[in-house]
Amino acid sequence: MLQIIRNLFTGWVAVLFIALLIIPFAFWGITSYFGSTANIDAAIVNGESISLAEYQSSYQNIRRQFQNISPQLAEENEFIKQQTLDKLIDRILLLDIKEDMGLRVSNDQIRQAILEIPNFRNPEGFDTVAYNSFLLRSGMSAPMFEAEMRDDLSLEQLQTGLLQTTIVTPRELRLIGAIERETRDIRYATIEYDDFEAGIEVAQSEIQADYDQNSASYISPEQVKIAYIHLSIDDVAREVSVEDGELETYFDTFRDNYSVTERRKVRQILVYSEGEEERENAENIANEIYDQVVNSGMSFDDARSQYDGDEITVEVSDFGFLNQGVLDPEVDEVVFNSDVGVLSEPIQTDYGFQIIIVDEVTGGDRPELADVRGEVETDYRRSQAEKRFFELYDELAVLTYENPDTLDIASESLGLPVQESGYLSRTGGNDILLNNQNVLSAAFSDDVLIEGNNSELIEINADQIVVIRVTEHLPQRIMELSEVQDSIREKILFDKVSGLTADRGNEIVEKIRQGADTDTVAEEYSIIWTNKNEVGRTDLALNRQLLQAAFVADKPVEGEISVTGTPLITGDYGIVIIQNVNDIDPESLADEDIAEIFNRVMQNNASRTWSNILKDLRADADIQIFEDNLN
């Protein structure tokens, strides 16, 4: 159908057709015409669908979070995929529980939660512009976001309820604290991977056997390369020519936008008074201080020293620079109408009597164009670019629609370059601009991928759009042996060598358990023992796996030692000897230590309970995952 329309409606007919569509679009919206992945399921949980669009959006969010923590982990697509599915599935299961328990969140609670989100606040309070910008970027309406907040807050209620039902006795807390603070005196050594790697071969037959057995693991997801035209206000603004006369006119019109807010550096003497009985005395003292400072040159600090006492309180404050409206109205009026260095007469306020002096004034001047030319030019360019941006937007929409099989005509007509992407899967690629849910949905839509047409104009955010077409398509496939044999060889080699280090390590551990002298063993096997006393469970100076092995090992019988071994992630093998355990008296722990342990234990127990609940829910749930749609 779409192809028939494209073939019939070209030139002025297409323009007329689009114009006629504007009217129903204006009344009914255009949301249903975009995002074709909304009707494709990523999974179904107890009959409730998780759309591919929802999955893709969550996938990208989680990937961005991991990029901030571990860029390497963020590239592990299978890991990110599993994290995304777990999050979406668990949310549906938990919301079902929430409904069964009748948990409710009021509109006032939602409103307050939104008001307190840091990203939506500025120094003056709630930032409506930031809030609306977030909604625009995320593709949500305010009711949609509030509904999501309602679900999140109700799940927090559920978690809080679990936390409050956790029970632990004071004796248990002291025992936990003593165990946590226990230290151990150890000796350790490692059997090195590098010492065994030389001479180990991996035969091609072994690589082939692994590939044949695990070929389903070596899948390359469906991928596309796209050509695209990117239009942004910033790019348009850079092309705007700036004439001095036009810039001056713009500046004169918006001059107030570039005025620096006046701020005044203020000091005060405050004579406190509480109630009418103290007011008269406070006023007399304030007048005395005023006279002393004005006529005798007394400093503020000297005035405080002389008059502050049991019967009257005198306080000196240096406020620094203040904006208008910060102080009480009666004081603010005096401050912003005083000359620099002139002491005000006592001002009566709710606190008593305040004497104010302004030391310095900044800002408040109406700037000249030369002072703020760079800022004015940037704003002028953008103001001119916005109009041109929407003109280009309309022209780009028409040209890419009238010529559905190429972007070149639009590119040549509008002077916008056609750019090429790298490979993108349904979950994105390395191009930040194109890792956008709407772009990915369009790239894998039937109209663009199968029919070979240009996409609709896709909004990245309020300031930039793209239109795309697929230039290359790679279906999902099992990779050839030649593509993965190097990684298979490395895997087999690692398994072989780490197996050898483990065999040697276990042999040494067994000898020591049989009573062999540790120094003799070290000489026989060419290993070096390292002694470390009073090692704690959180000792950062020791390899984490060795540390865990040290505290998993049995306590040695008095006068003897305990020994254990553990494979290390590097392929080495660690041997740990426990020489002594330094116990802590549970009763010696301070109350603040017990309080900290209590909070942590409550959190851990609640987390464990939470995990068990999710595990049980998953066991009873009907979960379908559509793997083909996720690759």
Question: How does pLDDT run across 147-181, given as a tens digit for each residue?
Answer: 777 777 776 766 666 556 666 778 888 888 888 88
Q: List 478's β-bridge partners, or say none.
A: 219
- How sure is the predictor about 26, in pLDDT bands with cuts at 50, 70 and 90? very low
- Residue 89 maps to a domain: no
Q: How confident is the model at residue 72 (pLDDT cuts 50, 70, 90)?
A: low
pLDDT at residue 406 in the model = 95
pLDDT at residue number 104: 65
Of 291-305, 530-544, 608-622, the range with the lowest mean pLDDT is: 608-622
CA–CA separation, 80 and 88 (whole Å): 12
Closest CA to 291 of 343, 240, 253, 341: 343
Quickly state the pLDDT bin for 262 (edges 50, 70, 90). confident
Q: List the one residue out of 258, 272, 262, 257 whose CA is nearest residue 325.
A: 262
**Is the same domain home to 320 and 396?**
no
**Residue 86, pLDDT score:** 84
Q: Which residue type sits at 47?
A: G
Q: Evaluate whether residue 126 is within a structural domain.
A: no
Model pLDDT, residue 11:
43
For residue 572, the model assigns a pLDDT of 94
Residue 121 lies in a domain: no
Helix (H) or strand (E) holding 291: helix 276-296
User: Residue 99 half-sphere exposure, CB side, CA atoms within 13 Å?
Assistant: 6
Per the DSSP assignment, residues forming a β-bridge with 353 are 271, 348
Res. 51: pLDDT tops 80? yes
Predicted pLDDT at 209: 95
Q: What is the pLDDT of residue 325?
A: 80
Residue 36 has pLDDT above 80, yes or no: no
Task: List, for residues 540-589, the tens digit of each pLDDT value.
Answer: 888 899 999 999 999 998 889 999 999 999 999 999 999 999 988 888 88
For the ranges 280-294, 367-381, 468-482, the one whose mean pLDDT is highest: 468-482
Q: What is the pLDDT of residue 201?
A: 93
* Most confident of the ranges 88-92, 224-228, 303-307: 224-228
Q: Domain check: are 377 and 436 in the same one?
A: yes
Same domain, 350 and 488: no
Give the pLDDT of residue 9. 41
162 domain residue, yes or no: no
Lowest mean pLDDT segment, chosen from 145-159, 200-214, 220-234 = 145-159
* 418 located within any domain: yes
Joined together, the tokens standing for residue 501 give 């280090």
If one counts the domains in the chain, the total is 3
Q: How far apart are CA 375 and CA 372, in angstroms?
A: 6
Q: Are residues 564 and 513 in the same domain?
A: yes
- Which residues does 556 contact at the CB level (< 8 Å), separation at least 6? 562, 578, 579, 580, 581
Asked whether residue 290 falls in the same domain as residue 384, the answer is no
* Domain shared by 272 and 232, yes or no: no
Q: Are residues 324 and 392 in the same domain?
A: no
Give percent of the chain with pLDDT exceeding 90: 33
pLDDT of residue 2 exceeding 70: no
Q: Which of 562, 582, 602 is the last residue of a domain?
A: 582
Beta-strand (E) ranges in 403-447?
418-420, 424-425
Q: How far apart are CA 351 and CA 353, in angstroms?
A: 7
pLDDT beyond 50 at 7: no
Q: What is the pLDDT of residue 186?
A: 95
b (16+ CB within 10 A) / e for 230-254: bbbbeebbeeeeeeeeebeebbeee
- Interval 230-242: pLDDT, tens: 999 888 888 888 8
Tell me the pLDDT of the chain averaged across its residues. 82
Confidence of residue 1 (pLDDT cuts 50, 70, 90): very low
Per-residue confidence band for 192, with pLDDT thresholds at 50, 70 and 90: very high
Question: What pLDDT was estimated at residue 164?
Answer: 60
pLDDT of residue 210: 93
- Same domain flag for 426 and 458: yes
In a domain, 98, yes or no: no
Q: pLDDT band at residue 456, thresholds of 50, 70 and 90?
A: very high
Asked whether residue 321 falls in the same domain as residue 355, the answer is yes
Q: Is a pLDDT exceeding 90 seen at residue 22?
A: no
Based on the fold, state whether residues 410 and 547 are members of the same structural domain: no
> According to the model, what pLDDT value does residue 221 have?
87
- 122 occurs within a structural domain: no
Q: How many CA atoms lie within 13 A of 33 on its CB side?
A: 11
* Domain contains 599: no
Q: Which residues fall within 8 angstroms of residue 412, CB to CB, at 6 or more apart?
A: none
Q: Which domain holds residue 544?
A: 183-220+481-582
Looking at the structure, tell me whether residues 342 and 398 fall in a common domain.
no
Say what the pLDDT of residue 481 is. Answer: 93
pLDDT at 534 over 90: yes
Q: Which residue has the higher pLDDT, 145 or 561?
A: 561
- 298-315 confidence digits (pLDDT tens): 888 888 888 888 778 888
Share of the chain above pLDDT 70, in %: 86
Residues 486 and 544 in one domain: yes
* CATH code of the domain covering residue 275: 3.10.50.40
CA gap 92, 618 in Å, rounded:
11
Residue written as token pair 């690589």: 207
Whether the per-residue pLDDT at 352 is higher than 80: the answer is: yes
222: number of Cβ within 10 Å: 19
Q: What is the pLDDT of residue 307?
A: 86
